[in-house]
Amino acid sequence: MSKRKHQKKNRLIRIADRKYERQLERAGKFVTGKLKMTHSGYGFVEIDPAERVTEKGEDIFIPIPKINGALDGDVVKVQLLPGRREFSSDTANRGATGRIVEVIERQRDSFVGELLAGGVVRPLNTRLPDGIKLLGGRKGARKGDFIKVRGPEMIQDEWRGSVAAVIGHAGIIEAELDAVMAEYEIPPAYSEEENQAAMAITPREIERKNYSKLFVVTIDPEDAKDFDDALSLAPGPDREHLELGVHIADVAAFIAPQSRFDAQAARRGFSCYLPGRTLPMLPPGLTAAISMRAGVPSLAHSVFLTIDKKSGEVTSVRREHTLVTIAHRLDYDQVQNFADTGKAPEEWTPKLKKCVKDLLKITALMRKFRAEKEKFIELPLPEVRVRCDEKSNQLLGVEARISRPSEQLVEECMLAANSAVGAELVDKGVAGVYRVHKEPEIEKLWEFSDMAEQFGFSTGDLSSRKNCNDFVTSLPDNPKREVLLSLLLRSFPRAEYAAKPLLHYALGKTAYAHFTSPIRRYADLTVHQQLWNLDKKARTRRVETLERVAGKCTLLEEKVDEASFAASDRMKLRILEDELEKGELKIYEGVIAKVITAGLQVAIEQLGLYGFVPVEALPGNRRRGKYSLYGEKNSSSSFKLGDYIYLRLAGIDFARGSAIFVPAGR
C-alpha cells in the first residue's frame, strides 16, 4: 500500500472511530429536531440547539427503515442509536444515527403533485414519499394534472391524501410554474389594485444632498428587471485617492416599518425569479418607480468610499441620503467587451469610457487587497439558468454565466458598501441584520479531500483559507473542476441571516450587513429602515425584534431558492424531452460524480444538471455497479469517479426528476 493510501485509510478510520465513540456515549438518548429528507429517501434531523449532543450540534442520520412515517420538515423525537462498529464509508460519512419515535409537529398539511393512473399522486417535491393514493373525489382532475392534495397521512401502512384543488396540466409551462409556486408557498403576483396603491405612495422626507452633477452609471444584466444600485467615481481628497460612490435606491423612503407594503415585503422576503416568471418583493409599479433609471432623478442612499489608488485599500467612508441622476445604463456584456478589446459602442462618450476603465482598474485593486487581507474563498462556479420568454412561455434554452471582471467590478463595490454599513451599525450600537456563514466542520472537509483523491487531486488542509484557495486555483480548467467545486461547496454550511455580527467564513469578514439590494431582499430593506430611523433620530428596532426578522429571512430564502431550483430543473427536463421527441441525437460530455449499485451519476456541464446512467446500459460486466462511495471497484470494472464519459439522452424520468443517459454509440 502506498504512503498516500495508508494515510487516507488511517484518516477515514479516525473519522469512523471518533463518530462511533460519540454514538456509544449517546446511545438511547432522546432528542428533538427538524427532519430534512433527501431525494434518496433517508433523512437528517437538525437537532434543537438546546438539546445538542455534541459541541457542534451535528445532524442525526435517519436510515430509511427508521423514518417511521415522518415527512420532510416535521419536528420529530429521535432516539439515538449506537451505529456500526466496523469501519465503512457509511459510518464515516453519516455520523450520529437515530430512529424517529414520534412526530411532534407535522409541518405541512398539503402538497402538490401530478395525478397518475389509478388515482396515484407523484409529489413535485421528491423529498416526499412517492406514489400517494387518493381518497374521495377528484374534483375534475385528470391524469397528468397537477393537483394540490390534503395530507399525506399514513393509513394502514399506505400514504393517502385527498384533492384540494386542480392547478393545471403537466407539460404546460404556466401550469408547471403554478405548481412550483404552490408547493414552495411562493406568494402570487401583486394584484392591479395593490400595484396602483403602491404607486400612489409619496416618499417620506429626509435631508438629502444633491449630487445630480455627479457622473453615475448602472451596470446590470442585459435583461435586468429592477435597478437598485449605481456607481460613480470621482477625484479623492488628494492625488493618491479616488472617491467611489455606491448609490442604492432609497427604498426606506417609500416603505416605512409596519406599513402595508412593508408587511407584504416581509411576507415574501425576496424577489423570486423563476424561468419565465418574475415575482418581485415589492409591487412592480413601485419597483419601477424606485429603480434608478437613466436620465431620471433618483432618491438614493449612498456610501462614499475613499480608495487608495495604489493599494486598493478603503481608507475612509461616509454615508448620505442623496439625489442622483443616472448618466448611462450599461450591461455586463458591454463592459466586458470593453475590458477585453478596448472597443466601446458608438454612443459611449470619452467621459464614459474613462469612467468604466477607471472602475475596472480600481475595483481590481480592491479585490486584490481584499484577497491578501481577508483570504476570501472563491468558488468560481457558473450560474446555469433556463431562458424562457415571459410573454409566450416558450423555452429558449439553457445558458451558463460565469463571473467575469465586469460582474466582479460591481460585486466588489457592493461588498465594500455592505462592509462599511455593517461596521457603522456595530460602531453606533444599532441593531442590524447581518449575513453570516459558519465555519465548515473539519470532518466534512476531510471527507471532501478523500473524494477529491478519487478524481486524482490532493487538497491539502482545507481548514486553512489559503490552502483552500490554493487548491481551487490549482484545478485544471476542464469539467472535472466544476464537479469538484460543487462538491466542495456542499461541504460548507449554508449562509444565513443573523441579528449579531458573526463570522462570514467564506468572505473572511465579520459585521457584514446586507444593504445593497433593498428592492429585492427584505433583510436589506430592514437595514435601510434602521439607518433611516437613526438618521432621523427616531427609535430603531431592538436586537430581539431583528432576530425574528433574520430567522424568517433565512427560512424564506431557502424556500425561494428551492422553488427556483425546482422550476429550473423541471424546465431543463422539458427542454431535453423536446430534444428526445424531435429525435435529436446530441452527444454530451460528462464527468462521473458518483457510483452506486444501480449505475452512474454524471455531471453534464453544458446542461447544468446531473444525469443518470443505469448499470444495464454500461458495456461489459453487469456487476460493474458494485462501487463504494470512495470509488473502490471490482477488478473487472473500468468506471471510476472523475472519469469522462460521452453520453446520449435515452429518456426522462419525471418521477425522480432525472434525465436518463446511455453511453454514446449504444
Predicted local confidence at residue 627, as pLDDT: 36
Asked if 431 contacts 425 with a C-beta cutoff of 8 angstroms, the reply is yes
Strands 509-510 and 503-504: antiparallel
* pLDDT tens for each residue of 142-195: 999 999 999 999 888 899 999 999 999 998 999 999 999 999 999 999 999 999
Instruction: Supply angle C-alpha 200, 201, 203, rounded to 5.
Output: 140
Cell triple for 216? 453615475
Which residue in 438, 439, 431 sits closest to 547, CA to CA? 431
Predicted local confidence at residue 519, as pLDDT: 97
Phi and psi at residue 318, in whole multiples of 5°? -140, 155
Q: Which long-range contacts (CB under 8 A, 24 or more apart) does 125-131 make?
A: 125/72, 125/183, 125/566, 126/39, 126/656, 126/657, 127/36, 127/37, 127/38, 127/39, 127/72, 128/37, 128/71, 128/72, 128/152, 129/71, 129/159, 130/655, 131/159
Confidence label for 58 from pLDDT (cuts 50, 70 and 90): low
Calculate what percentage of the chain has a pLDDT beyond 90: 72
Confidence label for 584 from pLDDT (cuts 50, 70 and 90): confident
Predicted local confidence at residue 95, as pLDDT: 64
Confidence label for 602 from pLDDT (cuts 50, 70 and 90): very high
Residue 18 has pLDDT above 70, yes or no: no
Mean pLDDT of 222-237: 93
Asked if 360 contacts 354 with a C-beta cutoff of 8 angstroms, the reply is no
Query: What amino acid is encoded at 174 in this protein?
Result: E
Query: Which domains are assigned to the chain?
Result: 3-105 (2.40.50.140), 110-170 (2.40.50), 192-439+493-568 (no CATH), 442-490 (no CATH), 585-663 (2.40.50.140)
Highest mean pLDDT of the ranges 127-141, 351-365, 591-605: 351-365
Asked if 107 contacts 57 with a C-beta cutoff of 8 angstroms, the reply is no
Biggest CA pair distance of the chain: 80
Q: Cell 429525435 belongs to which residue?
A: 583
Predicted local confidence at residue 26, as pLDDT: 56
Cell triple for 337? 467587451
Predicted local confidence at residue 630, as pLDDT: 34
Confidence label for 639 from pLDDT (cuts 50, 70 and 90): confident
Q: Is the peptide bond before 187 cis (omega within 30 degrees of 0)?
A: no
CA-derived radius of gyration, the chain: 27
Mean pLDDT of 372-379: 93
Mean pLDDT of 272-280: 94
Cell triple for 250? 432609497
Average pLDDT along the chain: 89
Q: How far apart are CA 568 and CA 274, in angstroms?
A: 7
Asked if 125 contacts 101 with a C-beta cutoff of 8 angstroms, the reply is no
Confidence label for 17 from pLDDT (cuts 50, 70 and 90): low
Asked if 449 contacts 278 with a C-beta cutoff of 8 angstroms, the reply is no
* pLDDT tens for each residue of 26-36: 557 888 999 99
Mean pLDDT of 467-495: 92
Q: How far apart are CA 163 and CA 203, in angstroms?
A: 46
Highest mean pLDDT of the ranges 13-27, 42-56, 396-410: 396-410
Query: Is 169 or 88 the better-scoring residue by pLDDT?
Result: 169
Asked if 124 contacts 114 with a C-beta cutoff of 8 angstroms, the reply is yes
Confidence label for 216 from pLDDT (cuts 50, 70 and 90): very high
Instruction: Supply angle C-alpha 358, 360, 361, rounded to 5.
Output: 65
Q: DSSP readout, 553-583?
A: HHHHHHHHHHHHHHHHHHHHHHHHHHHHHTT
Q: Can you point out the beta strands (E) in 377-440?
A: 383-388, 395-401, 434-436
* pLDDT tens for each residue of 538-580: 999 999 999 999 999 999 999 999 999 999 999 999 999 999 9
Residue 624 has pLDDT above 50, yes or no: no
Query: What amino acid is encoded at 534 in this protein?
Result: L
Predicted local confidence at residue 97, as pLDDT: 85
Confidence label for 15 from pLDDT (cuts 50, 70 and 90): low
Residue 77 has pLDDT above 50, yes or no: yes
C-alpha distance from residue 240 to each of 311, 372, 584 (Å): 10, 21, 60
CA dihedral 499, 504, 509, 513 (to 10 degrees): -40
Confidence label for 633 from pLDDT (cuts 50, 70 and 90): very low
Predicted local confidence at residue 362, as pLDDT: 98
Residue 237 CB burial class (10 angstroms; 0-12, 13-18, ≥19): exposed
Predicted local confidence at residue 353, as pLDDT: 97
Residue 330 CB burial class (10 angstroms; 0-12, 13-18, ≥19): buried
Predicted local confidence at residue 157, as pLDDT: 84
Predicted local confidence at residue 632, as pLDDT: 40
Residue 478 has pLDDT above 90, yes or no: no
